[in-house]
Structure 1
């Protein structure tokens, strides 16, 4: 720890409230508890999300259109559960709206037919990146985490978050670029969040062996698995077994999106720490540090 703050600083860029808890909740809780800097930038308030709480269905976009405010509060509660105090919306709350999505016949997400004029998918890339450049130059993180180029499963906001994060990371390090946004800062390591294919197959197999055919219905542990990354593409894992409780509390805080009897908690009940306590990453910028468990880095700051 320095007078200016933590010596090691992690920046995460996500599309909607709840994405962070699903993908990296254990990592965020672990690093925050260890005194490392954790900053979350959320690009939209998730206004187009499906509402799983019947008494709150009136908040939907086609009704009162107040889901964004609800999810803003859910994010507050989730960050409290994870122990993260620095979290922001890209450009400020309401700057960009959830773009919505629909499912393609091939099983991945695509943009919705009707998109709001302020949808994140329509955002000017340089304008959106400049919002993030300002954050990068303020926080000065050594490590950035965001999605892969497909947004992990095709959601347009995930893809746009990837584009904005990657472009902003380049611009932020350019000495001559918009000095009014802060002093230039080069991010040493960039990771894309990932889900281990072998871990997901093992978890699904355990669920099916237990007689549960409804959790992640239609997904075959021995067939094609969207959302996952082949293990030979993984670079790092963070073992956060001691923080699974915090991660599950954060997931529960996103109550309009995640239910206690839904697939995330079914996975937890069947597999516990093995599925939610270890989170995986692909290194796409920077040099891989010393390897540990499973031949992967065990710390995103390894080698710095």
Structure 2
């Protein structure tokens, strides 16, 4: 398979999720000539605004954050070189559901959510929007969240459900032929963070005297998206594209600030923390592994 024949589809809940989780992966494959398609399910209308001069965009004021974040997403994709980025069902079809923290410290659905919140979406209706995209793009690899949405956010959980149901329906020849010719995605991955790498990063941050970044997270108390090495299947690393990822993260300025936790310890530390992107293979055969003991190419074996 040549690079030009490779097609990668990522399904994310909000603008900025893609840059944080898969920025290196996206930039690397674009640079190699692969076709990268990003599907974002909402515009992140309920996101926490970290820039004072943008606070008027909040849902309880001007309610204009979604349009602003669409611009941030476009800027981030320009940094990564991704030209095919789409909103599931079009802008405003599904709204950010918002969230709250439960007693276990996990994200969960808010007490009150908008009528067209993504969490309220009919699963088949949302999946049909993705079926059409899958059948058009015909990706060999699909990347999305795990069944817990990595940390419980309702929109991440719903994106996981839509991605898997959409992939299943897209493969069924007799299902909705009006949405295109059937396509069975060969490999599906859940994004993850290496628990070992997270421990190294937390140790370095604490050794620097920083006790507030990732407050409550310690080497023996990691969040649920930190996955132990024996459960990981693939890693994408590319020092050549780390700076593009960091630039894409910065483009989401309403959500990610340079003095915030994602850049704790400065840019050199950020490059180390965010330079490796790990995955769990949940559909398809594992391909050849590299020196890391993991697949080092999501298209391995195809």
TM-score (normalizing by structure 2) = 0.97
What is the CA distance between 1:111 and its match in structure 2?
Answer: 0.2
- CA 1:248–1:201: 2 relative to 1, 3 Å: same
Q: Distance in 1 between matches of 2:178 and 2:211?
A: 55
Between Structure 1 and Structure 2, how many residues are aligned? Answer: 302
Q: Distance in 2 between matches of 1:225 and 1:177?
A: 39
**Structure 1 unpaired stretches of 5+:** none
Correspondence for 1:227? 225
Matched, 1:284 2:289: no
Q: Deviations over 1:225-248 (max 9, x none)?
A: 333111111000011221111000
Q: Distance in 2 between matches of 1:46 and 1:272?
A: 24
Q: Deviations over 1:86-134 (max 9, x none)?
A: 0000011110000000001111100000010000000000000000000
- CA 1:272–1:66: 2 relative to 1, 3 Å: closer
CA contact (8 A) 1:26 1:277 kept: yes
Q: Distance in 2 between matches of 1:122 and 1:300?
A: 32
**Structure 2 unpaired stretches of 5+:** none
Matched, 1:39 2:37: yes
- SS of the counterpart of 1:195? strand
Correspondence for 1:139? 137
CA contact (8 A) 2:263 2:269 kept: no
Q: Distance in 2 between matches of 1:233 and 1:212?
A: 30
- CA 1:25–1:136: 2 relative to 1, 3 Å: same
CA contact (8 A) 1:192 1:283 kept: yes
CA contact (8 A) 2:194 2:227 kept: yes
What is the CA distance between 1:268 and its match in structure 2?
Answer: 5.5
- SS of the counterpart of 1:279? strand
- CA 1:254–1:27: 2 relative to 1, 3 Å: same
Counterpart of 1:202 (choices 186, 197, 200) is 200
Equivalent positions of 1:91-110 (< 5 A) are: 91-110=89-108
Q: Distance in 2 between matches of 1:157 and 1:126?
A: 15
CA contact (8 A) 1:21 1:78 kept: yes
Equivalent positions of 1:12-161 (< 5 A) are: 12-161=10-159
Stretch deviating more after TM superposition (111-120 or 289-298): 289-298
Correspondence for 1:294? 292
Q: Deviations over 1:261-290 (max 9, x none)?
A: 011111563634432111000000000000
Equivalent positions of 1:218-257 (< 5 A) are: 218-257=216-255
Q: What is the alpha-carbon root mean square deviation over aligned residues?
A: 1.4
Correspondence for 1:188? 186
- SS of the counterpart of 2:227? coil
Q: Distance in 2 between matches of 1:121 and 1:167?
A: 15
TM-score (normalizing by structure 1) = 0.97
